[in-house]
Amino acid sequence: MHLYIHIPFCESKCYYCSFTSLKKKNYEDSYFNALKKDLNFQLNFFNIKKKSIKTVFIGGGTPSIIQAKYYEEIFKILEPFLAKNSENTCEANPNSTSLEWLKEMKNFGFNRISFGAQSFHPEKLKFLGRIHSQDMIFKVLENANKANFKNINLDLIYDTKMDNKKMLEFELFNLKKIKPLITHLSAYNLSIEPKTIFAKKESFKKNAPYLMNFFIKNIKKLGFFQYEISNFAKNKTYICKHNLAYWQGKAYIGCGLSAIGFLKNQRFYTIKNLKDYIANPTFRDIEKLNPQDLNLEYLFLGLRSCVGLNEKKLDNTTKEKAFFLTKKRKLIYKNGIFYNTNYLLSDEIALYLS
């Protein structure tokens, strides 16, 4: 089993962000009390056995603006259920992460940290609504290494209207400088989402495939290998096991405001209003997925990652189309699995196969 926990609090709202995030306003105690009830209930509901949770991912929001002591209580609940060598990740921002906080989190049992940098360029950071500087990125990575984190991710965003070859070369230059300090990179092309400050501002996205290919190609030249459309690791040891579980269609629990869980053919949604969640943290709205929904999701997730498509899970028509794409060198067929050769085309290929 895998577990996601959402921390909805932020210092400020980034202009592109569609995740649930709110100002703290002294809700930490009541929120974490609700979260503990939610977590205990879900562990029981899913009948989670001891030592069976393989990954934990705490995301946000900005988990690093919450004092470490709150996570200690969460970890005490989880400890009996964590598998040996479980991957335990927490997201953090450069401007709100101290060395002391990192050391405490490491002592609790977190062994992977993920920093939302998004860019090294001051003007691009400002454009995205980020409130940290380039220097803060370098400093927080140094501190994570001092705190003895061996698995460190950095997030970047590209394909914004500010991105041209010169801008991407600037990002790559700085990425090369910090390469010894990280083990993993997530590079997301900008998505314009509803209910964000960027909503309906389609011109803020570049939509330049040649620049996307340029950026990805040069990330690989730095020594990272791409195993998903937005994810790169120094080697297979550092592939994010939590995200890989999503792409493999594994079951996972979601706890916290606006969190989502998944089991077999059902999705479980928590409440989206903070006060309502605090009042009733164990409530779940359940969505039942039909075979067509599950099949389409299988195609999309497999084609955008190293997971690929198992021919045994494809009907005859889809399999025929897949073999046709191997002749066109759009897919590779190996040991009963179809693999995508260009993740940037994953959505188009999935729609063709569906």
pLDDT of 79-114, one tens digit each?
999 999 999 999 999 999 999 999 999 999 999 999
**Angle made by CA atoms 107, 111, 115, in degrees to the nearest 5:** 110
| pLDDT exceeds 70 at position 21 | no
Identify the bridge partners of residue 185 per DSSP, sorted by sequence position: 154, 232
Q: Strand 266-269 to strand 285-288: parallel, antiparallel, or no bridges (unpaired)?
A: antiparallel
Among residues 224, 250, 337, 215, which one has the least CA distance to residue 55?
A: 250
| Torsion, CA 20, CA 25, CA 29, CA 34, rounded to 10 | -30
pLDDT in the model for residue 203: 86
Tell me the C-alpha distance between 58 and 7, whole Å. 7
201/336 Cα distance (integer angstroms): 43
pLDDT tens digits, residue range 214-249?
A: 999 999 999 999 999 999 999 999 999 999 999 999
Band the pLDDT of 17: cuts 50, 70, 90: confident
- Whether 5 contacts 57, CB under 8 Å: yes
Share the mean pLDDT of the chain: 94
pLDDT of 24 > 70? The answer is no
The answer to whether 120 and 170 have CB atoms below 8 angstroms apart is: yes
**Model pLDDT, residue 287:** 97
* 73: pLDDT strictly greater than 70: yes
Q: Provide the pLDDT confidence category of residue 14 given band limits of 50, 70 and 90.
A: confident
Short-list 265, 284, 240, CA closest to 90: 240
pLDDT in tens, 265-299: 999 999 999 999 999 999 999 999 999 999 999 99
Is 192's pLDDT higher than 90? no
119-134 residue pLDDT tens:
999 999 999 999 999 9
Tell me the residue type at 121. H
pLDDT bucket at 198, cuts 50 / 70 / 90: confident
Q: Express each pLDDT in 32-45 by its tens digit.
A: 999 999 999 999 99
Name the pLDDT band for 197 (thresholds 50, 70, 90): confident
Identify the helix (H) or strand (E) that includes residue 86: strand 82-92
Binning pLDDT at 50, 70 and 90, where does residue 61 land?
confident
